[in-house]
Structure 1
Amino acid sequence: MAERIEVDPSKIPCPDFAGAAYGFVRKALVTDPDTPDVTTDEEAAQKLRGQWKIENDALKTQFQAQTQADEQLAENNRRLAQEAREQAESEQRQREVEVAKEREKKRTPLYDFNSGVGITSIPQHLHPYAEKRVSQRKFVELWYFTPEASQEAKEHRSTVDTNRLELAANNEEQKGTTAFTLLSTHSTRPSNNVIPDAKLSWSQIQLAKTPFIECLRSTGNYPDKYIAMFASFYTNMEMHNELRKPEGARVMALYHAEMRRAWYLAADHGEPFDLSVFSETVLQECRNEMW
């Protein structure tokens, strides 16, 4: 690698080779048999100027290449610095977007509404335990959709829907120690007042069916086919002659409990059946059980 030139050669003046300082050099050239073309003092000075110019021109060429390399390096450094700044700014903007997204997730979304359209009554409060079970598409007693359960959820929301801290033990057998971790858990507890389906009156079933079906749609995200099946299940019971018989309402309430439980058990095993198909056999079994 060539030695770096610190001074621009074009700014270096040619020495005074005709001066006294170079007299001995000129004399040496005149007497040197290797320079037969130099015979006078003036020719010696001219010879020295020519040699200096050749060397200076070479230095100029080297310095120009060095300057171009320096400029290219500086340009590359500026470009890299600019790219780094742009990358940092882009990452900062991306972080700000992500922060904004996270902040937006925590906010209640605003949906469109029809101007001038209000409500005529306060919507029924859904019991948190029922909401949890329906969202999991698991069986939950129909009582949770009655006005009594709704009132309980409204009055005691803080006790039926709570956040708790629990200790989780991690046994490390190799070390012979037990580590404890504090975990935050969300608890939706069953109601102490829940009534099994088999104990519900027919009037309670009638009051709870619509909130139950609506919850299947809104919370459980059941497909329309399932919503129609459950709706037909209740319609077919309401239209059955059994309700016109003495104690028929009690029999039908038991039929409702047995069929609804049977459907969820079958669904849990991946073999649901059409609940809307009325089973006279099961109805007779319910009659026999009642009497």
Structure 2
Amino acid sequence: MARIARNPDLDLCPDFAGPIFRTARDAITTADPNKTTDNVVADFTAAWQADWDIQKAAWDAQEAADQAARDTTAQAASDEAARKQAELDAEAAAEKREADKKKPKLNDFDSTKGVGDSIAPRPSSFALRKLERFEYVELWYFTREGCTDAAASAASKTINEDALALAKLDDFVGLRPAASFSASKNVVKDNDLSWEQLLFAKNSMLEHMAALSWPDKHVSSLADFWYSLETHPSRSLLHGDRIVLTYQAEVRIEWHERLKGNKGFNIAFINDNLMRRASDKIWDSVRDAVSSLHRSPSLI
């Protein structure tokens, strides 16, 4: 249906009683003697009104359809705007959740408790990161000397705490605090520690392993390993502590390497053959030292 271009409300009923329509009125009254001029005017007016009513109804229907279309378009636009706003709100909420996850959290504290009588020495972040990743790390980092070295390094701020460095994390490369990659230049190998240093360090390491969620099985095996060494008969021999320290150093490295290759063994089981080889190695070094002194009497 063609659109109606003009609003019928703008049209006025013609003056059918006026001179313009005289010829039409006279023609009708002449043809029909029963019709008066008033009858003709009334008929003309009724016919115009009937046609106007039809046009008015069509116009109103067209206006209603137009308004419905506008309402539909407006509703669609409103729905689309609401959808986009909901998406923006969801994205903003997701970004806020991610930001909240990354935001540092400050833990609560017991308002009724003060500081303890002693503060345990803390190993370096490098050593703790090694433990966190279940990697081998020298016992020295957990000795008093190692913890003192870590405290001195932190106090001197030789590495900015906020400095980051690239690191391979599993199969990905990411940023980690640079301090966690810095081995101490003062580190001492396990087999060069004193027996007293080993006793202190292994207890500290076991505590930190447990705190860093090492499996109980692994922590218990290491604890049994060090206890077995502490009570091993070899310690009663001349240079016994050096022999046991050498065994400990070599076997613990091997244990970590085998664990990485999924070929782990129970480190608590002491291998007498390896202990004898450690003894032979120490005695060979002692004999070499003695021979060197004999060759160089000025050193005696």
TM-score under structure 1 length normalisation: 0.77
Q: Would the alpha carbon gap of residues 120 and 97 (structure 1) be closer, same or farther in structure 2, given more than 3 Å must change?
A: farther
Structure 1 CA distance, aligned partners of 2:49 and 2:87? 56
Q: Would the alpha carbon gap of residues 199 and 38 (structure 1) be closer, same or farther in structure 2, given more than 3 Å must change?
A: farther
RMSD over aligned Cα, in angstroms?
A: 3.3
Of 154-163 and 132-141, more deviation after overlay is shown by 154-163
Structure 1 CA distance, aligned partners of 2:130 and 2:62? 78
What residue is the counterpart of 2:282 in the other structure? 290
Map 1:1-291 → 2, pairs under 5 A: 1-7=1-7, 9=8, 12-27=11-26, 41-87=37-83, 89-118=85-114, 119-157=116-154, 158-159=157-158, 163=163, 186-187=177-178, 188-219=181-212, 221-291=213-283
Structure 2 CA distance, aligned partners of 1:27 and 1:124? 126
Q: Residue type matched to 1:194 in 2?
A: V
Q: Tell me the number of residue pairs that the alignment of Structure 1 and Structure 2 aligns.
A: 270
Q: Would the alpha carbon gap of residues 37 and 82 (structure 1) be closer, same or farther in structure 2, given more than 3 Å must change?
A: farther
**Alpha-carbon contact 2:191-2:242 (below 8 Å) kept:** no
1:260, distance to aligned residue in structure 2 (A) = 0.2
- TM-superposition CA deviations, 1:106-132 (whole Å, max 9, x none): 433233444433433224332122123
**Alpha-carbon contact 2:143-2:200 (below 8 Å) kept:** yes
Structure 2 CA distance, aligned partners of 1:100 and 1:57? 62
1:63, distance to aligned residue in structure 2 (A) = 1.9
Structure 1 CA distance, aligned partners of 2:266 and 2:27? 123
Q: Would the alpha carbon gap of residues 184 and 225 (structure 1) be closer, same or farther in structure 2, given more than 3 Å must change?
A: closer
Structure 2 CA distance, aligned partners of 1:116 and 1:244? 49
* Contiguous gaps of at least 5 residues in structure 2: 167-173, 284-300
Structure 1 CA distance, aligned partners of 2:124 and 2:202? 15
Q: Residue type matched to 2:62 in 1?
A: Q
1:18, distance to aligned residue in structure 2 (A) = 2.5
**Alpha-carbon contact 2:190-2:246 (below 8 Å) kept:** yes
The structure with the largest strand share of the pair is: 1
- TM-superposition CA deviations, 1:166-186 (whole Å, max 9, x none): 9xxxxxxxxxxxxxxxx9775
- TM-superposition CA deviations, 1:69-101 (whole Å, max 9, x none): 233234334434543554455345445434543
Structure 1 CA distance, aligned partners of 2:158 and 2:279? 39
Structure 1 vs Structure 2: percent identity of aligned residues?
26
Q: Residue type matched to 2:145 in 1?
A: E
TM-score under structure 2 length normalisation: 0.75
- TM-superposition CA deviations, 1:131-186 (whole Å, max 9, x none): 232232222212122222222222213335763689xxxxxxxxxxxxxxxx9775
